[in-house]
Chain A
Amino acid sequence: MQSLCWFIGRHAYLRGLVMLLLWSILTPLALAADLVQPRPQPNAPTGGTLTIGYMREISSPDGFQAVGSFDRMYFFAGNETLVSIGKDGLYDPAESLAYAYEVLDDGKRYRFHLRKGVEFQGGLGEMTAADVAWSLNRIHQADTGSRWSSLYRSFDRAVEVDRYTVDALLKERDANLIIRMFDRPSIVHSRKHWEAVGGAVQHKIRPLATGPYQLVDWQVGIDQKWMKHPAYWRGQPMADQVVIKVITENRTRLAALQTGEVQVAWLQAEQIPEAQKDPNIKVWSFGGVGWDGWAWYPGLAPLDDLRLRRALVKAVDRNALNKAVYLNTLMASKAHTFPTESAYGIDAKDLWDGEVLKFDPPAAKKLVQEVARDKGLKLPIELQGVCEQRPDRQLVCEFLQAAWAEVGVKLHLKIVANAAERLAVVEQCQTHVNQTGGLTVAPHDMEGILLSSATGNISMRVCQGKGHTLTPNDAKVQAELDRLLNEAAQQMDLPQALAIYKKVQRLALENLWLYVPAMLRVNYIGCHIPTTGGCDTNPIRGDGFVRVGDFWRKR
């Protein structure tokens, strides 16, 4: 009996062993089928120093803690996100630290499959699920320098499943999680290094991540130096060194590009005609990455009257604005926040060219007079505005001031030094108009302004009970926007989500709700062709910015 049992046991054991062997051979093969191979570097390493001309102060080489949207121009030299955005604006697994993801538990769990062999800079070892989970969990921890908590309301926590698998657990379904992760909150850092340097403050100065270049020096206001990361997972970086040079003066930055001392530079719109004349410079553009216009607060009278809001839009000749202020380098929006051509964009030509919003000063004047008569207001109707002390912004403000004066509205402007001060003024609840702009790259950016709980919704979030009151009709508009946006955020089916986002934009535009994205921004990048590789096709990604790692020095 014992021998039989032994035989049966041995048989089962052998069978188990065979199964195990088969599993161990087949499983990697099966996984390998799903594994998206890393995209190789576009060129063999050529060495040398690649110099990038950046136009303003660098906030931090640690992408997680960098504050401005333009900072993407440089921090992707060393930092990488869990999921990357491609040139088409979609998830690009070949350049992502997660080569695939699954949506589980009815959209409340996202499972990320990590690449093997992704090495951290500085010899910190391989990136594992523990690093990824820890990195994502910083989002809701204030002492990590995170400013992303409100953007990730649905995100609960990340947990390590195994060495190469991470689960992101959500409080509620979020159809936009992957799009949110294209930006810096999903940058993966080494916990070991973070703790070794003592936390966020020091990591902000000397971060280590997984990208192609490792920061070696940062002189505030002067430059950053990054050396190649020899164990980079996509192969040897093409340059030996990258220097991000801060050249705040626009003409000087163009001169640096013209002389070839800088290979790639961000160009200001007014420099474009000059740059395009230079045969050594190739200019690439990306339209619709953001919008420029103004925000206003329907809760503050007399802007609580939709007729006045419409009058003010109808008083502005956007083509003239484009020509006078932006030298025709922007585009008058034909939609709402997104360009019409974008999957999320709407065709609102009927509104912009029709009775509702068309440039028509006499009609605008009539509307203003109607509002003044009905509300017992004196003409000109007086509005308070705030404007940043920046040449383009001030010009826009003066343009609005002049255009509105023509139709009987006097705009008093308070000039402030920066966006933070602008916001401080707005939060005092006495300002009607706030000259501003924003991004259009992701649908969830709409939530940040239009939702009643959104930080950008000043009338609802800050000024309710402080002089701002929505009319019953406007309250209905807000309620409907809230409903639609919440529904869209949970809609996993893309076509259906798109339809809802289009409804949101139509409703917001018809009611000129909170912000008027009159112009679509265009980003410009210049390459010095004789010394620079990577500029034959448009190098700008779907977020409107370039990646340092895409360029190389020509020999």
Chain B
Amino acid sequence: MRKYLVRRLLNMLPTLILVSLGVFALVRWLPSDPARLLAGVDDSGAIDPALYARITKELGLDQPIVVQYAYWLGGVVRGNWGKSYLSGMEVLPQIVHRLQFTVQLAIAAWLFGLLLGIPLGTISAVRRNSPLDIAVTAFAISGVAIPHFWLGMMLIVLFAVWLGWLPYGGFDANLFVTPGLWIKQMLLPTFVLGTGLAAILMRQTRAALLEVFREPYILTARSKGLQESRVIWTHAMKNSLLPVVTIASLQFGTLVGGTVVTETVFTLPGLGKFVVDAVLRRDYLVVQMGLLVLTMAVMFSNFIADVVYTYLDPRIRYD
């Protein structure tokens, strides 16, 4: 097992290098360049060519692309992630600051999705074709279909503007210092981000349980006269959880990388929004590092999914 984990971790390295190459190339394929943005269009709508040339040189953008890549990758390895072209601030602390928030939001939404999706999926499977099942299925379809943007906006208008119960957005709380404020500020974004996951997990749980319910050993358990709750929780659930856990783990990576809309609507200091803003500003270093970190988050969540999968299903062996 340990050998497998080490090998799996080492396998991530070439993937990361490939991703870094891809990200670097993609960012440079974007039209325009940061020197133009930094030089700034003046009130007449023009750019000073001398200033533009100077900034290009200062940013090293006049160097061959291979040199730029090597310089950047060398810096990343040494822990020197460079400075934002536009603000002049160090990239590393900015990404760490935003990643902290995004991870908090992703964990909260993930837990929300698990706590809502799995029980609802179970109820739906147990009460198959009942009005409750129809209601839960309708929720699941809505959860997948409703855009986060629209849902977030509606919730802001309802809970912040009309009812005044919750803040419109923003985040400056600390879970351990100001837990009440943390909950208030996280509630709506968590709901918006977690609803989609809950819907996916609900449908997956329902399908998996229904499949397991058809297995002979469930029939045996029932014919032994076991209580229905024991049949479900002890016998059916454990086997039906395998695909659910896999999807839930993979979804965590998606959540970390997919918070941008929620962060924008609720004005949250997350990494997704930070990277998107940087793309619009052509802030190359921030985009490159942000995407690399997000990729690592997805890879890491996949890795955790593999580990959990191995733990849950002892039949799986990785030699």
Contact = CB atoms under 8 A, between A and B. Distances in A.
Interface string B57-77: 000000000000000000000
B32 A424 contact: yes
Interface string A58-79: 0110000001010000000000
B44 A456 contact: yes
B168 A261 contact: yes
B45 interface: yes
A221 B274 contact: yes
A69 B41 CA distance: 10
Contacts of A340: none
Please classify how large the interface on chain B is, using the bins under 10, 10 to 19, 20 to 34, 35 or more.
35 or more
Contacts of B94: 220
B119 interface: no
B166 to A, nearest CB: 9
Interface string B264-296: 111101000110010011000000000000000
Contact of B168 (A255, A423, A439): A255
Nearest to A219: B269
B218 to A, nearest CB: 49
B267 A246 contact: yes
A413 B27 CA distance: 24
Contacts of A201: 88
Interface in A233-252: 245-249, 251-252
A252 B32 contact: no
A165 B124 CA distance: 82
A254 B239 CA distance: 49
Contact of A147 (B32, B40, B153, B281): B40
Contact of B54 (A142, A220, A258, A434): A142
B40 A448 contact: no
A301 interface: no
A418 B280 contact: yes
Q: By CB atoms of chain B within 10 A, which of A57, A220, A261 has the most?
A: A220
Interface stretch (B155-163, B251-259, B302-310): B155-163
Given A147-B39, A205-B89, A255-B156, A455 B32 contact: no
Interface string A394-432: 000000000000000000000011111101100000000
Given A252-B156, A252-B168, A259-B167, A221 B273 contact: yes
B89 A249 contact: no
Contact of B157 (A60, A249, A255, A454): A255
Given A59-B86, A454-B44, A252 B265 contact: yes
A149 B51 CA distance: 10
B243 interface: no
A186 to B, nearest CB: 15
B170 A204 contact: no
Nearest to A456: B44
Given A256-B169, A259-B164, A420-B32, A221 B43 contact: no
A252 B94 CA distance: 24
B43 A69 contact: yes
Nearest to B149: A249
Given A252-B156, A455-B44, A455-B47, A221 B32 contact: no
Interface string A314-346: 000000000000000000000000000000000
A330 B161 CA distance: 28
A218 B62 CA distance: 30
A454 B46 contact: yes
B26 interface: no
Majority SS at the chain B contact face: loop
Contacts of B47: 420, 423, 455
A445 to B, nearest CB: 6
Q: By CB atoms of chain A within 10 A, which of B87, B94, B97, B169 has the most?
A: B87
Contacts of B153: 251-252
A448 B42 contact: yes
Nearest to A445: B43
Interface in A451-486: 454-456, 461
B99 to A, nearest CB: 14
A496 B169 CA distance: 54
A84 interface: no
Nearest to B274: A221
B38 to A, nearest CB: 8
A455 B48 CA distance: 7
Nearest to A247: B267
Contact of B45 (A245, A259, A419): A419
A142 B50 contact: yes
Contact of A295 (B36, B45, B54, B161): B45
B269 A67 contact: no
A543 B160 CA distance: 34
A215 B44 CA distance: 30
A151 interface: yes
Interface string B81-105: 0001011110000100100000000
Contact of B170 (A221, A261, A439, A455): A261
A417 B265 contact: no
B42 A259 contact: no
Given A252-B168, A255-B160, A204 B88 contact: yes
A423 B88 contact: no
B31 interface: yes
A418 B37 contact: yes
A57 B281 contact: yes
Contacts of B160: 255, 258-259
B168 A147 contact: no
A200 B312 CA distance: 57
A449 interface: yes
A436 B41 CA distance: 12
A434 B44 CA distance: 13
23 contacts: A59-B86, A147-B48, A151-B42, A204-B87, A218-B87, A220-B94, A246-B267, A247-B267, A249-B265, A251-B153, A252-B168, A252-B169, A255-B157, A256-B169, A256-B267, A259-B164, A420-B47, A436-B45, A445-B43, A448-B42, A455-B46, A456-B44, A461-B46
Interface of A: 57, 59-60, 67, 69, 142, 147, 149-151, 201-202, 204-205, 218-222, 245-249, 251-252, 255-256, 258-259, 261, 295, 416-421, 423-424, 434, 436, 438-439, 445, 448-449, 454-456, 461
Given A256-B170, A438-B44, 17 more contacts: A147-B48, A202-B88, A218-B87, A249-B264, A249-B267, A252-B169, A255-B156, A419-B41, A420-B32, A420-B39, A420-B47, A423-B36, A424-B36, A449-B45, A455-B46, A456-B44, A456-B45
5 cross-chain pairs, A with B, having the tightest CB-CB distances, nearest first: A448-B44, A455-B46, A456-B44, A420-B36, A421-B32
